[in-house]
């Protein structure tokens, strides 16, 4: 497998193509499931890229959709093979948000709103360790270390010189005051945040308390966008036991508009940097 093949993204592209073929055939997911004697939920998971797609699945679906062009079938079969390969994150074992990591790894840009904490891609190791330990009090030390290592590895998208991730972060002011770990950990974290915010591809804005109610009041979300036009943008909503991925154009557009309002209500980049520096100084006193 070529090193630049992302299995998560291949599953998405393959699922989108299979959905297109089903719709061209004028069939519903229920009808396809009935023909193949499988559950409707399996067809849905195959089409939304949340499940690995075997070559047998592709063969059976192409048969139902009466795809006669061998080049199309061969292309879909190749995508199925690639989609079952493992990304770098799979070497860490069972990671609960592996689908998101796969998308983030291939994304061209990422817009994040964080109401409570510094976003993962900008965290220091001590901050990340304290955060995971506090959020998951019954988690073993080994599991905490694994999650932190994955988070540090994800940050390579920010520090790489070749095609770095374009990151835009809106942080609620609460994230600057919530003591995660210790005052020393917080000071180092905020200083690190300032340093990263000076990178040309990283933008950090602070949403002050004085704004009051705002479009992000319901919680954290991220919008991932991709260089390939074939890959639709995705809104990611993190949950405790499961995550939500929104890909419908109207859903993505609604969250994108909400994000523009958050940006407009936040301090500009320079004022935000000064705001963070003042918070770091308070932790140093």
What domains does the chain contain, in order, with CATH numbers?
7-85 (1.10.260.40), 89-284 (3.30.870)
Structure tokens at 194: 């300032």
Threshold 0.95, pTM exceeds: no
Which pLDDT value is given to residue 57? 87
Write out the chain's pLDDT in tens, 285 residues: 334 556 777 777 788 888 888 988 898 988 988 888 888 888 888 887 766 788 888 888 989 889 888 888 888 888 887 767 767 776 777 777 788 888 898 899 999 999 999 999 999 999 999 999 999 888 899 999 999 999 999 999 999 988 899 999 999 999 999 999 999 999 999 999 999 999 999 999 999 999 999 999 999 999 999 887 667 899 999 887 778 888 888 999 999 999 999 999 999 999 999 999 999 999 987
Nearest to 253 by CA among 213, 212, 217, 225: 225
Nearest to 215 by CA among 264, 248, 177, 251: 264
| SS3 label, residue 112 | strand
Whether 80 and 55 have beta carbons less than 8 Å apart is answered as: yes
Which pLDDT value is given to residue 259? 97
Which pLDDT value is given to residue 230? 66
CB atoms within 10 A of CB 191: 17
CA–CA separation, 238 vs 168, rounded Å?
18
CA–CA separation, 113 vs 265, rounded Å?
13
CA–CA separation, 106 vs 15, rounded Å?
17
């Amino acid at each position: 497998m070529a090193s630049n093949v992302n299995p998560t993204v291949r599953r998405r592209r393959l699922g989108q193509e299979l959905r297109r073929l089903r719709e061209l055939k004028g069939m519903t997911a229920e009808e396809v499931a009935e023909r193949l004697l499988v559950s409707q939920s399996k067809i849905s998971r195959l089409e939304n890229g949340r499940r690995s797609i075997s070559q047998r699945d592709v063969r059976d679906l192409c048969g139902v959709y009466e795809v006669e062009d061998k080049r199309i079938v061969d292309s879909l079969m190749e995508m199925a093979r690639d989609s079952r390969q493992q990304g770098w994150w799979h070497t860490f074992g069972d990671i609960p948000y592996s689908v998101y990591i796969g998308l983030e790894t291939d994304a061209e840009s990422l817009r994040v709103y964080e109401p409570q904490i510094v976003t993962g891609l900008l965290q220091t190791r001590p901050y990340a360790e304290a955060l995971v330990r506090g959020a998951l009090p019954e988690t073993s030390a080994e599991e905490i270390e694994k999650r932190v290592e994955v988070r540090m590895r994800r940050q390579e998208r920010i520090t790489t010189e070749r095609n770095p991730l374009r990151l835009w972060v809106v942080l609620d002011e609460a994230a600057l005051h919530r003591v995660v770990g210790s005052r020393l950990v917080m000071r180092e974290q905020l200083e690190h945040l300032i340093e990263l915010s000076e990178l040309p591809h990283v933008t950090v804005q602070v949403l002050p308390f004085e704004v009051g109610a705002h479009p992000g009041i319901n919680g954290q979300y991220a919008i991932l966008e991709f260089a390939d036009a074939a890959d639709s943008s995705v809104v990611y909503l993190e949950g405790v036991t499961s995550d939500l991925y929104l890909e419908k154009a109207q859903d993505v557009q609604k969250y994108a508009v909400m994000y523009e309002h958050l940006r407009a209500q936040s301090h500009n980049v320079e004022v935000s940097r000064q705001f963070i520096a003042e918070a770091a100084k308070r932790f140093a006193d």
